[in-house]
Amino acid sequence: MYILGDEELQAIKRVLDSKKLFRYQGPGVETECFLFEKEFASYHKTQHSVVMTSGTNALLTAMVSSGIGPGDEVIVPTYTFFATVAAVVQLGAVPVIVNIDDNLGIDPVECLKKINSKTKAIIAVHMDGLNCNLEALRKICDDKKILLIEDVAQAVGGSYKGKPLGSIGEWGCFSFNQDKIITAGEGGAVITQNKEWYQKAMNAHDTCNQFGLTLKSWYEIQTFIGYSTRVSEITGAMLREQLKRLPHIISTLRSIKNDLIAQVPALQEKLVLASDPAGDCGTSLHLMTQDPLDALSTSKKLIQAGLRVAPMSARPAHCVWQWLHMLKEERTCHPKLNPLADANAQGLYDKAHFASSIDKLSRVIKLEIDINWDAEKIKSVAQSLNN
């Protein structure tokens, strides 16, 4: 969460005063949720968007709507919040884990090696506001005729070579959790150019809307049994105001990060940069230390200087070794919904496969950038880093 103010309060009040909190209010009625979807799609230069309860459900909806299911394989990175992996398993699909590159994004070279006849998609996760190598990933997916799904939960507002993150893959999946760049406390969304998949996403994320007056005659697809992850008008209204703030948030964070980097010349070789640095969201600064002990000691010194810093190993559910046991132990919600047995029999989830990722992540520290830092504070932070 970066900026909240009176605009969000007034938007919520507008909904409460209307006494219409449900997103469906009849055919053709542009409710807060429908308006947010239109504005969010337009921001990302795509045709369609669906708002829902979480980034996890956004991933689930994207995969369901594009036909991914039991027995299919989906390639995911070693550095991602566990929800990315969990969404794949929930569909009965098999997560195939791939190491990260030097930009902390999924490694395109390793992705190519993992593709087989069962592979349906690569999920490119833009962690910590850092974009992945989308040019290489897009080419691989086009050549192999598989889907590219962008997990933009931590990078809304970012770009890659001038294009909004989320618009380069067949799907862009977003989160509006409290810790994200724009927020409604909770929430998520998908974007896509594909009209059929968009209709399937509307059906998948809210299975009962096919029976209501608002959408009953709208569907051109054969509807199916989905689930229920719709949000209220309060969420839609709040996200509309947050979206208006997004350009300012991103430009401010980028400016702060660029100013900070310019003032730490001795650390240039230690910086971990995005694949396309110009499209970085600017939410954090990453440094590659010598070893895990150096990461811990450096973090401790910077924390004592009053900065929000932590080694990657301190994050609870983002590095492969923190969630790998869930796959190895096949902790699915029901034994008959377990797609992991064959992968385990082949040793695909053995930690040894991910040694390069473990080495990188155990040496990287992350400094959170505060949107309220002024020039004097940036100078102070730079001095702490230089020391």
C-beta of residue 134 within 8 angstroms of C-beta of residue 275? yes
- The yes-or-no answer on residue 120 being catalytic is no
C-alpha of 125 from chain center? 6
The count of other CB atoms within 10 Å of the CB of residue 142 is 10
- In the numeric block, which tokens belong to residue 173? 């999946």
Torsion angle, alpha carbons of 293, 299, 303, 305, to 10: 100
Give CA torsion, residues 255, 316, 353, 55, to 10 deg: -70
Bridge-partner residues for 309, per DSSP?
367
**Length of the chain in terms of residues written:** 387
The catalytically annotated residue of 118, 163, 180, 377 is 180
Q: Please compute Rg for the chain using Cα positions.
A: 21
User: Between helices 233-262 and 32-43, what is the axis angle to 10°?
Assistant: 30
**β-bridge pairing 119-125 and 159-160:** unpaired
Sheet holding 171-175, edge to edge: 48-52, 188-192, 171-175, 147-151, 119-125, 73-77, 94-98
- In angstroms, the Cα distances linking 350 to 312, 328, 338, 343, 353 are 21, 8, 18, 10, 6
Asked whether the beta carbons of 56 and 177 are under 8 A apart, the reply is no
The catalytic site residues sit at 180
